[in-house]
A and B are shown apart, each in its own frame.
Chain A
Amino acid sequence: MLRPAILATALAAAFPVYADADLDALRAELKEMKSTYEARIQALEARLQQADAAPAPIAAQADAAPPQGTAAGNRFNPDISLILQGKYAHLDDIEHRHISGFLPAGHDHGAPRGFSLDHTELVMSASIDPYFRGYMNLALLDEEVEIEEAWFQTTALGNGLSIRGGRFLSGLGYQNAQHPHAWDFADNNLMYRVLFGEAYGNDGVQLKWVAPTDLYMELGAEAGRGANFPGTDRNRNGAGSYALFGHLGGDVGASHSWRAGVSYLHAKANERDGDVDDLNDVEAETLFSGKSKTWMADFVWKWAPNGNASERNFKFATEYFRRSERGSLLCVDNPADGGACTGSEDATHSRQSGYYAQGVYQFMPRWRTGYRYDRLNPGSVDFGANNAFLPVSEYKPTRHSLMLDYSPSEFSRLRLQYSQDKSMEDLSENQWFVQYIHSLGSHGAHSF
C-alpha cells in the first residue's frame, strides 16, 4: 500500500522539472487526500478500541475462535527430516587401518580417500497417540539401509518416568546418543571407535527417571539383545546386555551450564570376530567368548554470555572409559601364509582405558573452531597361551584434531578439519577433511 507521504516524495522526485506552482497544487491535493484517509483510519481505530475495551468479550472470543493453525508437532503427518552429509578426505594409503592394541569394534566405517558420501539420514517422528511417541532414523548407504533407530517412547506415565522400546542409541555417556551429523568433528573420537565402532545401539527397552529436584538428576537402565560390539548376537532368550547410567546437571549463573554422568555397560559375547596381525605379521582371525564390562564417565560444560549462544559460545566435553573383558580367545590363522596359531584357544583377559577431551568455540556468528585430543591406553592384555602368537602392545594411541566450521544457517554446515593421527604404532598420519552437513525438512531439536 502506498502511503500518501511516500507518494508525494516519489512524485516530487520523479518530476523535478515541474514548476513550483504545479508542485504546490499537487501537494495541496495530496494533503487533502491524506487528511481524508487519516480521518477514516482514525474512525476505524476508534471502533476497534471500543471493541477491545471490555476484556470479558475478548476472552470469550479467544476461546471460541478456531485455533490459529496447528500447535507445534500437531499435524497428522510425521515430522520428516533428511540429512545430507559427505566429505573429501585426504589420507595416506594405509592398507589395514586399525588402532594399535585394540581389537576392531564392529563395523567401523572409516572414511575412504578422496570424495565420498557419508550416511544419508532419514528421520521421522510423531506422536503415536496420547500415550506414545515414535521415532525412526534410517541410515541410507549404497544398496543398504540401516535402521539406526526405530523406537516408541511413553509420554503419559508422568512422575518423571519414561519407557522406550525398540532399537535405540543407548543413553550411555555423552556422545553416544548423538548421530554423526551432530558431532563437532568430521570423524568419531578414538574412544567411541574402540568401544563401539560408532555408537552403542541396542534392541531392547530403556527405563528412565528424572528426579523432581532443582538439580537435574536422571537415572536410566537398559536391557536388550546386545548384538552389537562389544557383545554379539546369541541364539538365546533373555537379555544379552544391560546398561545403567546416571546424569547430574545444572546452571552456574546465567552463562554457564554443565552435565556430568557415570555409565556402565555389561555385554556378553559369543565367538566375537576380530582381525589382528599376529607376531609373524599374518592376519589372524580371533574369536572371543566371554563378558565385557565398560565403565564410562562424561562431563560437558557450556558457556555463553548471559546464556545467549547466538553470538559467542564455548563448549567443552570430555569422556573417559575403562573396559575389562574376561573369557576365552580362539585364534584362527592361515598356516599357508606362515600363520602359527590355528585352533589355539585359551583364557584371556584385558583391562583397557582411554579418553577424549574437546573444546569448540564459536567466536562470531556462523563460525566455530575446535580442538580435540584423543588418547587410549592399551592397559594390560593377557591372551594366555595365545601370547606366543599374538602381539601385546604397550603403545598408547593419540590424535590431535583441529577444526573450523562455517554454518550459513542452522540448517547447513561446512567444515574443514586437520588431524595428526598417531593411532597406529610407528605411524604419524596427517589427515585433512572437508565436510558438509545439510538438513532438510522439519526443524530437528538437539539435546544439550
Chain B
Amino acid sequence: MKRLLVYLALCLPVSAHAALNVFACEPEWAALAKEIGGDDVKIYSATTAFQDPHRIEARPSLIAQMRRAALVVCTGAELETGWLPVLLRDAGNAAVQPGRPGYFEATRFVPLLEKPARLDRAEGDVHAQGNPHIHTDPRNIARVGAALGARLAEIDPVHAADYRARGEAFAARWQTAIARWEIRAAPLRNQPVAVQHKSFSYLLAWLGLREVVTLEPKPGVEPSVGHLARVAAQLQTAPAKMVLRAVYQSPRPADWLSQRTGMPAVALPYTVGGSERANDLFGLFDDTLDRLLKAVP
C-alpha cells in the first residue's frame, strides 16, 4: 500500500504535464504522430512490429494508457475490432470515443483497396470496408499525415502553428523521399510476387508489383501444407520472383515455399520497428525497398 502511494505520487505530476498524450494503435501512426507532434506530444504505441495488429489482447496496461490519452490514432477498417472496443469501453475516457475529435481513424482519409464483393465469414477474416494495411503505400502516409496534423491542431490549438509547421516540413521531405523511392523502385515494376497475407496490397499497387498468389487460403487462415503444395504447383506455371511476409508473421509457410520453389523468402519490416533500419517512417521504406531490390537481380 505504501509503495502504491509512492508510485501514485510519482505518477500524478507526470500525467499533469503539458504534452498531449497520443495513443497510437500501431507503430506507423506513432511514428507519424512523432513527426508532426514533435515535443508537443507524448506518444504511446499500443503494438510493436512483431505483433499481429489483428490479434492483440486488451491488456490492463493498454487500458491504463487509453485512460490518459487525449488523442487515439488507429487504422480503423476493423483492423483493431478484436481489442480496441474493449479499451474504449473500459478506460472511461470520454474524449477519445468514436465520433469525438480525440478519435482518429486513418482509413477514413484514404481510398481503400480490396473491398470484398461478398461479406461472408466463409471468406475468412474479411474486412467489410476494405484492406486496412494502408500504410505500406507512402502516399497514404502523406494523406493521413495531413489529416492528422489538422486533428492535432484542433485538439491542441495552443500548438496549432507548430503542428502546421512540422506537418508541412514533413510533407515536403516525404514527397522528396517518395520521388526518390519511385526512381529506385523502377526495376520492381511488373515483377510477380507471392504474399503470405494481404499485408502489402498497397505497397504492391504503389510499386506496380504483381501479386500472383496469396499463401493464406483465406484472409487470416493459416495455410496448410496441402494448400502450400497447390500454391507451389501454381507457381510452376506462373512463377514469382519472391515470397513476401511481414516480420510478425510465422516464417514457416514462406520458408517452406522458398525451399520448394527456390524463390527467395523476403521478410519485410512491415512497420516502424520491424527491422533495425526501420526506426522511423523513412527508414521503413528505405529498408523495404532494399530488401525487395535485393531479391530482384
Residues of A in contact with B (beta carbons under 8 Å apart): 3, 5-6, 9, 13, 49, 52-53, 55-56, 58-59, 61-63, 65, 67-74, 127, 130, 133, 153, 155-162, 208-218, 247-251, 254, 257-259, 302, 304, 306-311, 365-366, 409-411, 440, 443, 445-448
Known: A72-B98, A213-B7. 4 other contacts (CB 8 A): A160-B93, A409-B125, A445-B58, A447-B86
- For B8, the chain A residues whose CB sits under 8 A away are 211, 213
Please state if A68 and B57 are interface contacts (CB–CB under 8 Å). Answer: no
Taken together as a complex, chains A and B put the C-alpha atoms of A3 and B190 apart, in Å, by 9
- For B76, the chain A residues whose CB sits under 8 A away are 71-72
Judge whether B109 is part of the interface by a CB distance below 8 angstroms. Answer: yes
Please state if A68 and B90 are interface contacts (CB–CB under 8 Å). Answer: no
Name B85-111 residues within 8 Å CB distance of A. 85-86, 89-95, 97-99, 105, 107-111
Q: Which residue of A lies closest to B60 (CB)?
A: A249
Residues of B in contact with A (beta carbons under 8 Å apart): 7-8, 11-12, 15, 47-48, 50-52, 55-61, 63-65, 67-68, 76-78, 80-86, 89-95, 97-99, 105, 107-112, 115, 121, 124-125, 128-130, 139, 142-143, 146-147, 149-150, 168, 171-172, 174-175, 178-179, 182, 190, 210, 220-222, 237-238, 248, 250
- For B61, the chain A residues whose CB sits under 8 A away are 214, 216, 249-251, 257
Taken together as a complex, chains A and B put the C-alpha atoms of A155 and B111 apart, in Å, by 30
Taken together as a complex, chains A and B put the C-alpha atoms of A372 and B63 apart, in Å, by 28
Please state if A55 and B57 are interface contacts (CB–CB under 8 Å). Answer: no
Taken together as a complex, chains A and B put the C-alpha atoms of A106 and B220 apart, in Å, by 42
- For A254, the chain B residues whose CB sits under 8 A away are 48, 50
A-B contact count (CB 8 A): 212
Known pairs A68-B110, A68-B129; A309 contacts B64 (CB<8 A): no
Top 8 A-B pairs ranked by shortest CB distance? A249-B60, A59-B146, A216-B60, A158-B94, A55-B171, A69-B129, A216-B64, A160-B92
A212 touches which one: B15, B105, B146 (CB < 8 A)?
A: B15
Please state if B57 and A71 are interface contacts (CB–CB under 8 Å). Answer: no
Taken together as a complex, chains A and B put the C-alpha atoms of A62 and B90 apart, in Å, by 31
11 pairs, CB–CB < 8 Å, chain A vs chain B: A59-B147, A62-B110, A158-B94, A210-B67, A212-B67, A249-B59, A259-B60, A308-B248, A443-B81, A447-B90, A448-B57
- For A71, the chain B residues whose CB sits under 8 A away are 76, 98-99, 105, 108
Please state if A69 and B130 are interface contacts (CB–CB under 8 Å). Answer: yes
- For B57, the chain A residues whose CB sits under 8 A away are 257, 302, 304, 309, 448
Known pairs A59-B150, A216-B63; A72 contacts B85 (CB<8 A): yes
Q: Which residue of B lies closest to A209 (CB)?
A: B92
Expressed in whole angstroms, the minimum distance between the Cβ of A205 and any Cβ of chain B is 15
Q: Which residue of A lies closest to B80 (CB)?
A: A72
Taken together as a complex, chains A and B put the C-alpha atoms of A308 and B105 apart, in Å, by 23
Known pairs A52-B139, A63-B147, A68-B77; A307 contacts B48 (CB<8 A): yes
- For A155, the chain B residues whose CB sits under 8 A away are 89, 94, 97
- For A160, the chain B residues whose CB sits under 8 A away are 67, 91-93
A55 touches which one: B51, B107, B175, B238 (CB < 8 A)?
A: B175
Please state if B92 and A158 are interface contacts (CB–CB under 8 Å). Answer: yes
- For B93, the chain A residues whose CB sits under 8 A away are 158, 160
Taken together as a complex, chains A and B put the C-alpha atoms of A3 and B93 apart, in Å, by 52
Please state if B124 and A409 are interface contacts (CB–CB under 8 Å). Answer: yes
- For A410, the chain B residues whose CB sits under 8 A away are 55, 82, 125, 220
Please state if B98 and A74 are interface contacts (CB–CB under 8 Å). Answer: yes
Please state if B143 and A58 are interface contacts (CB–CB under 8 Å). Answer: yes
Taken together as a complex, chains A and B put the C-alpha atoms of A247 and B85 apart, in Å, by 20
Expressed in whole angstroms, the minimum distance between the Cβ of A414 and any Cβ of chain B is 16
Expressed in whole angstroms, the minimum distance between the Cβ of A392 and any Cβ of chain B is 38
- For A304, the chain B residues whose CB sits under 8 A away are 57
Taken together as a complex, chains A and B put the C-alpha atoms of A363 and B43 apart, in Å, by 34
- For A409, the chain B residues whose CB sits under 8 A away are 121, 124-125, 220-221
Q: Which residue of B lies closest to A213 (CB)?
A: B11
Taken together as a complex, chains A and B put the C-alpha atoms of A9 and B236 apart, in Å, by 12
- For A208, the chain B residues whose CB sits under 8 A away are 92
Please state if A257 and B60 are interface contacts (CB–CB under 8 Å). Answer: yes
Expressed in whole angstroms, the minimum distance between the Cβ of A384 and any Cβ of chain B is 39
Please state if A68 and B60 are interface contacts (CB–CB under 8 Å). Answer: no
- For B149, the chain A residues whose CB sits under 8 A away are 59
- For A366, the chain B residues whose CB sits under 8 A away are 222
